[in-house]
Amino acid sequence: MKILFAIITLIVCSTIYCQQFEYVYKNKSDSTSNCYVKVIPNSQSIRGLVIRDYSALPNFAVPSPHQFTSLCSNEGLMTLYTVSSKNFPEFFTSDETIAVLDEMVYEVVQEHKIPITNIFIGGISASGTRALRYAQYCQQGKSKHGIQIKGVFSVDSPLDLARFYESVHKHRHHFKEGMLWEAELMKPVFEQLFSGSPTKYEEEFRNASVFSHSDDSGGNAVSLKNVKIILFHEPDIEWWMNERGCSYFDINSYDIVAFTLKLRSLGNKNVELITTTQKGFDRQGNRNCHSWTIVDEVYLTNWITQQLE
């Protein structure tokens, strides 16, 4: 795919965390997609790249309670925040959309001479789904530029869209609060993405998902048997049941555990599953298991640096 758009760049220096921020918009008239921000460490050479595909670019002028980006910079890692799609939520069900991310990654790797063997990607929720889908895309030889992903981190992400569909359509009458909001959001999204239910269109769902419960080989999961993966989730079923009206089938743990077991059965000895307790809270301090706070950011950064070549 040829991308011949103008690039707008803004550089902001930060001496506190030894990093600089560079915003790049591939289309000067559109700041909502096909754009990225690089968090560049002030080091002699960049050791590797950590990709986070977002729904909108983060505003680094606003203080964040999280330190992951700074931890990466301190280790000589560039963090690349991308927006590859206008859709929300985006699950990378289409190779055409994934190719947009692939172009941006290649552009950054080339410009900064980042070792192609040290590329990582990850995220929470649908962003984590996209991370795993991009790794599969690369492992399947679809990257136009031969990009390969060294490691993926995924935080409480839905992995089997068929399971997700069935949960939304069959159980939403029990759901509360954020889970009900998500179910109502996803109903029309599923209608746009698929021809019908997974019962009738099983192959469509299998081809579009990171993992498939209904496939003995795990569907696309087989493409990840040689990729280093770390997964985080907080399966506090009492909270999910009482506060969100969910059963085990409705929470992403259902996919995550099965996915982990399938990868191990396929011979992947480098998949790590971390389950947490009482770590999930939103920015207001309210209990929320579906939160980045379940991630031990120091541990995750160390996990990445241990993989560097």
pLDDT tens string 187-196: 999 999 999 9
Banded pLDDT at 11 (limits 50, 70, 90): very low
pLDDT at 28: 82
Which residue would you say has higher pLDDT here, 11 or 199? 199
Predicted confidence band of residue 35 (pLDDT cuts 50, 70, 90): very high
Whole-number Å distance between alpha carbons of 298 and 144: 33
Assess whether pLDDT exceeds 50 at residue 92: yes
* Number of residues written out for the chain: 309
The lowest-confidence range among 1-15, 159-173, 218-232 is 1-15
* pLDDT the model gives residue 6: 35
- Let me know: does 50 contact 74? Beta carbons within 8 Å: no
Closest CA to 53 of 21, 83, 25: 83
Residue 8: beta bridge partners? Answer: 25
Flag whether pLDDT at 135 surpasses 70: yes
The pTM of the full predicted model, rounded to 2 decimals, is: 0.93
List the beta bridge partners of residue 155: 124, 232
Rg, Å, the chain Cα set: 19
Provide the pairing of β-strand 77-83 with 30-41: antiparallel
82 bridge partner residues: 36, 53
Report the pLDDT value the prediction gives residue 193, as an integer from 0 to 100.
Answer: 97
What pLDDT score does 1 carry?
36
Instruction: Give, in order, the Cα–Cα distances in Å from 233 to each of 156, 214, 256, 260, 279.
Output: 5, 22, 8, 12, 10
Three-state DSSP class for residue 2: coil
Whether 122 contacts 155, CB under 8 Å: yes
Q: Which residues contact 80 (CB under 8 A, 6 or more apart)?
A: 36, 37, 38, 39, 49, 50, 51, 52, 104, 105, 108
pLDDT tens digits, one per residue of 276-296: 999 999 989 999 999 999 999
At 114-131, the pLDDT tens digits run 999 999 999 999 999 999
Q: Residue 18: which pLDDT band, with cuts at 50, 70 and 90?
A: low
Return the percentage of the chain with pLDDT > 90, whole number: 87
Angstrom distance (rounded) from CA 288 to CA 236:
10
Q: What would the mean pLDDT of 19-43 be, rounded to a whole number?
A: 90
Give the C-alpha separation, 242 to 269, whole Å. 36
Q: How far apart are CA 309 and CA 307, in angstroms?
A: 7
> What is the CATH architecture of 8-307?
3-Layer(aba) Sandwich (3.40)
The closest alpha carbon to 270, from 278, 260, 280, belongs to: 260
pLDDT band at 3 (very low <50, low <70, confident <90, very high): very low
pLDDT of 19 = 78
Which ranges of 38-93 does DSSP label H, i.e. alpha helix?
68-74
Which of 207, 220, 205, 135 has its CA nearest to residue 169? 205
Task: Report the candidate in 188, 223, 220 with the shortest Cα–Cα distance to residue 203.
Answer: 220
Question: Residue 156: which H helix or E strand, with range?
Answer: none
Question: Average pLDDT, stretch 226-236?
Answer: 97
